[in-house]
A and B are shown apart, each in its own frame.
Chain A
Amino acid sequence: EAGVVQSPRYKIIEKKQPVAFWCNPISGHNTLYWYRQNLGQGPELLIRYENEEAVDDSQLPKDRFSAERLKGVDSTLKIQPAELGDSAVYLCASSLDGLAVFTDTQYFGPGTRLTVL
């Protein structure tokens, strides 16, 4: 079974440019998470989807970040415009059902390492 797929793996852009990250969760997983991991830190949740609905986006900087999960499968996270402080690894995770199965295991993708110059 394929794991969580993310692309690209690496991205280097100049500040003020837009960037997008793509995630394809494990087949059949209803819940999808986007995390940001700054250097030397643990991942921090940005947004959580239950199917196509964003049920927790309280930590998403909405002035420049946006996300979508059309059709409740794959998802895209966008930053526009990017700032120097956005340099981080962006991780996508998925689980079967984050609500019904309370301690449902999250499976993580390899992440996209973003460098903003």
Chain B
Amino acid sequence: AQSVTQLGSHVSVSEGALVLLRCNYSSSVPPYLFWYVQYPNQGLQLLLKYTTGATLVKGINGFEAEFKKSETSFHLTKPSAHMSDAAEYFCAVSDPQTGANNLFFGTGTRLTVIP
């Protein structure tokens, strides 16, 4: 069974500061990993995803995430926060063994950017 834990339901950073959103997964096999962003009253938008290959994945809007198998983590980072980054961020996994692209989401982290 797949599960995702996002540490910190709320994270606040100052504009220009480093953004670090944490995600740990539980899986019997290495899953595929995703980060989605949700702006108020909008649907989820894919930021980036890891399937195979290079463990450092670059996404849109300057975000990147690194898959660390030994730590079962897929933390999301951005060197310098912008006001427009304020949103809800969801980490998700899919199970390669099920043969389907069903996503299992974490509970989300709300990012606040302080001017």
Contacts and interface: CB of A to CB of B under 8 A. Distances in A.
Interface of A: 3-4, 9, 31, 40-45, 48, 55-56, 91, 93, 95, 98-99, 102-111
Given A42-B106, A43-B105, A95-B101, 8 more contacts: A43-B44, A55-B100, A56-B100, A102-B32, A102-B51, A102-B101, A103-B49, A107-B46
Contacts of A31: 101
Nearest to A55: B100
A79 B70 CA distance: 43
B9 A40 contact: yes
Given A40-B107, A41-B107, A41-B108, A99 B100 contact: yes
A93 B105 CA distance: 14
Central interface residue in B4, B41, B42, B102, by most chain A CB within 10 Å: B102
Nearest to A40: B107
Nearest to B36: A108
Contact of B43 (A45, A102, A103, A111): A111
Nearest to B92: A42
Nearest to A105: B46
Contacts of A98: 100-101
Interface string B15-38: 000000000000000001000100
Interface of B: 4, 9, 32, 36, 41-46, 49, 51, 90, 92, 94, 96, 99-103, 105-108
Nearest to A103: B51
B101 A103 contact: yes
Nearest to B100: A98
A106 B72 CA distance: 23
A48 B100 contact: yes
A109 B94 contact: no
Contacts of A42: 4, 90, 92, 105-108
B107 A103 contact: no
B11 to A, nearest CB: 15
Contacts of B46: 105-107
A108 B100 CA distance: 17
Contacts of B44: 43, 91, 93, 108
Nearest to B41: A110
